[in-house]
Structure 1
Amino acid sequence: MGLLGKFFRFLLLGHCCKPTTTGGYSDSLRPHGISAATHGIWALAYDLFNFEITCQVPEDLSQHVVSSKKAQANWYRKLVETWREAKQPPRSEEEAARLVIQTLKGHKKADVQGLLDFYGLPHPHSLVKVSAGVPTSLPRGVKFEFRTLPVDAKAVPDGDGVTVYVSTSDPRESSCVPSDVQIAAIQRSEARADKNYTKADELHQKIIDAGYRYGTECSKRGDPARKYRIRLRGIDAPETLMPYGQEAKEELVKLLEGMCLRVLVYGEDRYGRCVADVYCNGIFAQEVMLKKGAAWHYTAYDQRSEFARWEEEARRNQIGLWASSNPEKPWDWISVKDR
């Protein structure tokens, strides 16, 4: 099996991008049946794998491009070759878009954009370069840091917040578990051993109410995980009911879903959330959100010059919410809404 076939098998096994589990796709479908919360890379991998076997391009592609089927077959042939030559296959929408754009350089702009639209992949102007790497030492002002368990998409409520869990097998967390949670955990384990699942469920709810949870992802040893609500420091995304609010949320979901995060906590806001810088696979989450035009630099609480520069870059290129000439600010929208 070639690289493309192996990668497609990898996708099917669910280690990368998963279709919805509701017997179909979600309501917000893109042209190829890709929901806003899933990656177009899944469909692209499928179609390239299918092309290797059948030499057939997707039937509906002609609705999005202007060139002939013969030209389309030539694109897919080139894309398969590029995929084979890649050191590793694309793992994100941005990487998949770059593969398509680079491979089809010199072809009609309308065709390239149509192909990207077909798979729900970002257009060239929305692709941004971000700096990689995390601080080697704790920056000034950091109170503590932790590393999370993989993030669930449902734990991202908007474009500047996320709920995460940290295993209590972590030394810092193990020393902070309340005694009543420890006792409930022991009693729950005993109840499950006795097959008294009603009591076990009651004890589990007690643990949840205390801000902890159990799950197969928490720890191989069966340790509970502690819940933290995070507010991304220095940015403010549109509220979900505002224009571009849903898109901002989706950008953060695409960045964080399934990833373990490094979180540097600077303090706590009035809602009890940790105000933090968040790093995902070596990428600074706030940088991505600002460069993609998915958030404002929250200057009332943050004066970092790089944040201002990243916002200005998105403004200048009219990316994301800056496609609007005068987007409404979240803090203005909230103040009017609360009157």
Structure 2
Amino acid sequence: MGNALRFLYGGCCKPQSDEPDSLGPHGVTISTVGVSALAHDLFQFDITSQGLLAFYGLPLPHALVEVETSSTPAYQPQHWKFELHTLPVDAKAVADGDGITVYVDTRDPRESANVPIEVHEYAIRRSKARAVKNYAEADALQKNIVDAGYRVINGPNNDDILARKYRIRLRGIDAPESAMPFGKQAKEELVKLVQGKSLKVCIYGEDRYNRSVGDVYCNGTFVQEFMLKKGLAWHYVAYDQRPEFALWEKEARAARVGLWASSNPEKPWEWRKDRRNGV
């Protein structure tokens, strides 16, 4: 920064008399003289004075940092354990309206240090087997990889990507089961939203089925919000008390959209309990 300021200070020319000056913030004339004066001030203060920057209408240092705003809404609580960035989602990976299977590239810094050595070896041997068209051995090695919780996926450039598998349970909502009214529609809407997209998933923990419970974002859309506002999921208040979830469900109820077109839709957790009890 110091060298740049020396250049600016030493290299500024005098203003041309036939060039009209324009007024900047606070009525300060913007001209080559103004630039030279600014360079002098910045050089003398070594940009330690935020008041000087504000006076000249320049952004303060913190404003120069690029920040992400599209995929982390203001209401997002900051209590997750870790964050995943997935490979594009396949339609078949959507189990229902609140469950998705995703894969994360093991070249991701968080994943790379945790891949078992034998899985790396399986992947290398599989690649060699496919190179010589020994597909039987390649398929057997792929099964070993899958059994370990990973998969070799064909990438966009026809390259092999070793990826870790995560089963995701969308936190705070409960969508109708497939055999329930609107169960099929809930799954179809979720497929349309996430198919072929890379997702951001904020993981909070695991449920009793060893699924990772998390908030899911797709191209800036908060997926749980989308499903609640579509009337295709309940607010799972027993496990999540976020007030915005209750509000989104209330709005969908009032508009009678999705499952709320019915006057008394059956709750999925009660439906599951009845099936367990043989009702």
TM-score with structure 1 setting the length: 0.59
Question: Is 2:103 aligned against 1:162?
Answer: no
Q: Indicate yes or no: 2:118 matched with 1:180.
A: yes
Match 2:228 to one of 279, 290, 296? 290
1:305 maps onto 2:268 in alignment: no
Q: Distance in 2 between matches of 1:296 and 1:137?
A: 19
Judge conservation of contact 2:129–2:135 (CA < 8 Å) in 1: yes
SS of the residue 1:248 aligns to: helix
- Give SS of 1:151's match: coil
Aligned to 2:196: 258
Question: Is residue 268 from structure 1 mapped to residue 196 from structure 2 by the alignment?
Answer: no
Distance 1:136 1:318 in 2: 27
Distance 1:138 1:310, change over 3 A: closer
Greater strand share, 1 or 2?
2
Moved more, 281-290 or 241-250: 241-250
1:282–1:178: structure 2 CA closer, same or farther, 3 Å change rule? Answer: same
* 1:141-177 deviation digits (Å, cap 9, x = unpaired): 2100011111111111111000011111111111111
Equivalent in the alignment of 2:182: 244
The share of aligned pairs that are identical, in percent, is: 63
Gaps of 5+ in 2: 1-68
1:283 partner amino acid: T
CA positional deviation for 1:196: 2.4
Match of 1:109 in 2: none
1:108 alignment counterpart: none
Moved more, 205-214 or 161-170: 205-214
* 1:305 aligned partner, one-letter code: P
Specify every segment of 5 or more residues in structure 1 that has no aligned partner in the other structure, as ranges: 1-130
Change (3 A) 1:170 1:218: farther
CA contact (8 A) 2:91 2:195 kept: yes
Q: CA deviation at 1:198?
A: 1.8
Given the alignment of the two structures, is residue 328 of structure 1 paired with residue 266 of structure 2, yes or no? yes
Q: For residue 219 of structure 1, report the CA deviation from its aligned partner.
A: 7.6
- Corresponding residue to 1:147 among 85, 98, 110: 85
Please name the residue that 1:23 is paired with: none
**Secondary structure of the equivalent of 1:224?**
strand
Task: Provide closer, same or farther for how the CA distance between residues 195 and 272 of structure 1 changes in structure 2, counting only shifts above 3 A.
Answer: same
Q: CA deviation at 1:218?
A: 7.3
One-letter identity of the residue aligned with 1:297: H
Change (3 A) 1:160 1:300: same
- Secondary structure (helix, strand or coil) at the match of 1:229 reads strand
Q: How does 1:27-42 map to 2 (within 5 A)?
A: none
Aligned amino acid, residue 274 of structure 1: S
Please name the residue that 1:127 is paired with: none
Alignment coverage as a number of residue pairs: 209
Which secondary structure does the structure 2 equivalent of 1:157 belong to? Answer: strand
Higher Cα Rg, which structure: 2
Offset, 1:132: 5.5
Query: CA 1:163 to 1:134, structure 2 compared with 1: closer, same or farther past 3 Å?
Result: same
Q: CA RMSD in A?
A: 2.0
Q: Which amino acid in the other structure matches residue 175 of structure 2?
A: A
Closer/same/farther in 2, CA of residues 172 and 184 from structure 1, 3 Å limit: same
The one-letter amino acid of 1:316's match is A
Q: 1:170–1:138: structure 2 CA closer, same or farther, 3 Å change rule?
A: farther
Using a 3 Å threshold, how does the CA distance of structure 1 residues 179 and 137 change in structure 2: closer, same or farther?
Answer: farther
Distance 1:217 1:269 in 2: 30
Alignment partner, residue 134 of structure 1: 72
Deviations 1:46-73 (A, max 9, x none): xxxxxxxxxxxxxxxxxxxxxxxxxxxx
What is the TM-score of this pair, normalised by structure 2? 0.71
Equivalent position of 1:189 in the other structure: 127
Which residue in the other structure is 2:65 paired with?
Answer: none
Give the equivalent residue in structure 2 for 1:200. Answer: 138
- Which amino acid counterpart does residue 227 of structure 1 have in structure 2? K
Point out the more displaced range, 181-190 or 314-323: 181-190
1:314 and 2:257 matched: no
Contact 2:123–2:152 under 8 Å retained in 1: no
Question: How far apart are residue 274 of structure 1 and its match?
Answer: 0.5
Q: Equivalent residues in 2 for 1:14-53 (5 A)? A: none
- Determine the C-alpha separation between the residues in 2 that align with 1:295 and 1:195: 47
